[in-house]
Structure 1
């Protein structure tokens, strides 16, 4: 009987998807024949998309192997990458191979907290002070409100920012192996309702944009959001010259003038060659929220010439990833996570370190190609 019910539900899901697709075809005048061929059953994606009409396929490749000695990521990994940009995976693979010749990549997570920042309306400065005093003196009550919403999350920090009749609270949560945005939102709402009852402050929005979610923000650059990760490599002088056809000094100068000076003149948050490229490809492959590429774009790339060797490092202040929940439930994404041993509990920090190592490889290869004057020719050679 249960099997028959499952088949019935599956039939409804397929029928509904076909009906929506037909309606979309009629409205747009476009035959969605390729979208209809997608390999994902509609009930599989029920928690990830509404009004499903099919799937979009993105080419998937891998870069590596990359040898890592991280706080969590130890060993060699083939990294799955989903992209439509030709030459990207080849470039990342080159960077990984060169770093392997130099002894591999070292990576470490230095911070781990997901944020949500509600904004309250208060009566005046005096009222604002009373609300802040109440929050400071009732942390146990606030922790209890959080505990009532989740067994995995924990409030680790509260920062308060008063401005006139607005009071912002940036709440930072440990969220286990979930990316944690939903967890942080639900817990923050519970905290806000408690504060409203006890102080008379009014929650205007559970997100007051000081979180700051899916937007480039200096507060995330400085304090971090999600995982703050560093990855580094030191590449011997002879490896730089033989494998990259340039010198450490030339790569250092490119990084200084392009990434540091150029980014400063442009006013960007972050200073890197193309960190978002690697972040987008690995996020799409592993079922992360693609909008969190914004956090990855705030990467800081540094290079130094150390006795002729090249030292290169990336600081990523906002690697917002999870290995449970969300898109990690989908079958292809589960397989991609399994390729790097990052599926399920206890793996989120490991994934963040692999993300940073992959970004480091892409940064190295691109900076070296520009230092050697090969960027355009590489794309032309690969027919992109």
Structure 2
């Protein structure tokens, strides 16, 4: 079969901002690249960004980080599976030694298990330095499986990936246990700024978040998700920074919380499954490398620091777009008018 030349599919990209971001990973104003066919997104994120620089900024907190791979093993019965996994969890030092053979950066930090009949689902959780870690954790799991089977001959191999990870699928487990970076972005917007720049009031934003994002998602059967369009900002940011775009599936399972703070608006976006990396697969392309450099994610820092910075910037970008869209939707006709004006021009 004839091999085909690797081509590139160009996607329009634009730098938006600056956004004013604060928190433990960065404290500065920075513009962000967004690659998207939905060009009104640039203007929407830009509006949120303009609001951020007129406030104390978007505070970002990286709460947790881990990448997961679940493996599937079989035993003769449930009790044999239970006894094996109970023993495995007590052998952390030996497991660490096996993982260390697979990577300089992978560290096994936790594991969770489920037993279904005679099937043993083992969810392995790692830190992976500056990489998002898909291949790193799979390689570590590939080293761990032969060791486990040697130590526990009553177990048998079934699969290197058991869907208990969960990779690129909507699930409850990722939100509960975490996959990728768990990041929260928050902003407090004075009432006058809300009225002047967002053309709405704090009360209207809080009310719409409850009725649309919370109740609307609930009646739709949404799964651990309460947001208007996290996926839009995530995809634009992922394509511009060399991420695995399919991870927006679990990445967009996030929540908006808004409330009144006196006369002002408190607005936050929580992303428990934000999967980003500053090194690894998808990087090395000229425009990606340049974008990561301009974002300050190519600096000499301790392992993992560049990826945490990238995650914080991404979460702040999501907040800008989410805030702008919700504000627009409090006003009849504003959303469609903006799309018609921007897309048809």
Normalised-by-shorter TM-score class: over 0.9
* TM-score with structure 1 setting the length: 0.85
Greater RCO (Cα-Cα under 8 Å, separation 6 or more): 2
Mapped partners of 2:125, 2:219: distance in 1? 32
Q: Is contact 1:134-1:199 (8 Å) kept?
A: no
Matched, 1:154 2:114: no
Q: Secondary structure at the match of 2:53?
A: helix
Mapped partners of 2:284, 2:79: distance in 1? 48
Matched, 1:278 2:236: no
What's the counterpart of residue 377 of structure 1?
Answer: 337
Q: 1:119-141, CA deviations, whole angstroms, 9 ceiling, x for partnerless residues?
A: 11111122112212320232221
What's the counterpart of residue 263 of structure 2?
Answer: 308
What's the counterpart of residue 322 of structure 1?
Answer: 277
Q: 1:192-232, CA deviations, whole angstroms, 9 ceiling, x for partnerless residues?
A: 11111111211211110000001111011122101000000
Mapped partners of 1:302, 1:52: distance in 2? 47
Moved segments of 4+, more than 2 Å: 343-346
Matched, 1:103 2:28: no
Q: Secondary structure at the match of 1:326?
A: coil
Mapped partners of 1:52, 1:104: distance in 2? 46
The alpha carbon displacement at 1:102 in A equals 2.0
Q: Given the alignment, which residue of 163, 166, 189 partners 1:235?
A: 189
Q: Secondary structure at the match of 2:15?
A: strand
| C-alpha RMSD of the superposition | 1.4
Q: Is contact 1:249-1:308 (8 Å) kept?
A: no
Q: Secondary structure at the match of 2:158?
A: strand
Q: Given the alignment, which residue of 284, 294, 299 partners 1:339?
A: 294
Aligned pairs, number: 337
The alpha carbon displacement at 1:350 in A equals 0.3
Mapped partners of 1:136, 1:297: distance in 2? 32
What's the counterpart of residue 217 of structure 2?
Answer: 263
Mapped partners of 2:17, 2:251: distance in 1? 20
Q: Given the alignment, which residue of 122, 140, 154 partners 1:187?
A: 140
Mapped partners of 2:157, 2:117: distance in 1? 15
Q: Secondary structure at the match of 1:221?
A: helix
Change in 2 beyond 3 A, CA 1:144/1:242:
same
Instruction: Answer 1 or 2: which has greater helix percent.
Output: 1
Matched, 1:112 2:65: yes
What's the counterpart of residue 30 of structure 1?
Answer: none
What stretches of structure 2 of length at least 5 have no aligned partner?
Answer: none
Mapped partners of 1:186, 1:356: distance in 2? 28
Matched, 1:61 2:14: yes
What's the counterpart of residue 125 of structure 1?
Answer: 78
Q: Is contact 2:29-2:53 (8 Å) kept?
A: no
What's the counterpart of residue 245 of structure 1?
Answer: 199
The alpha carbon displacement at 1:292 in A equals 0.7
Q: Secondary structure at the match of 2:317?
A: helix
Alignment of 1:135-154 (within 5 A): 135-154=88-107
Matched, 1:363 2:316: no
Q: Secondary structure at the match of 2:204?
A: helix
Q: Is contact 2:78-2:119 (8 Å) kept?
A: no
* TM-score with structure 2 setting the length: 0.95
Mapped partners of 2:190, 2:30: distance in 1? 22
Q: 1:231-256, CA deviations, whole angstroms, 9 ceiling, x for partnerless residues?
A: 00000000001111111001111111
The alpha carbon displacement at 1:101 in A equals 1.4
**Which is greater in Rg?**
1
After TM superposition, the structure 1 stretch with the greater mean CA deviation from structure 2, 132-141 or 260-269, is 132-141
What stretches of structure 1 of length at least 5 have no aligned partner?
Answer: 1-15, 21-50
Mapped partners of 1:53, 1:171: distance in 2? 34
Mapped partners of 1:126, 1:316: distance in 2? 37
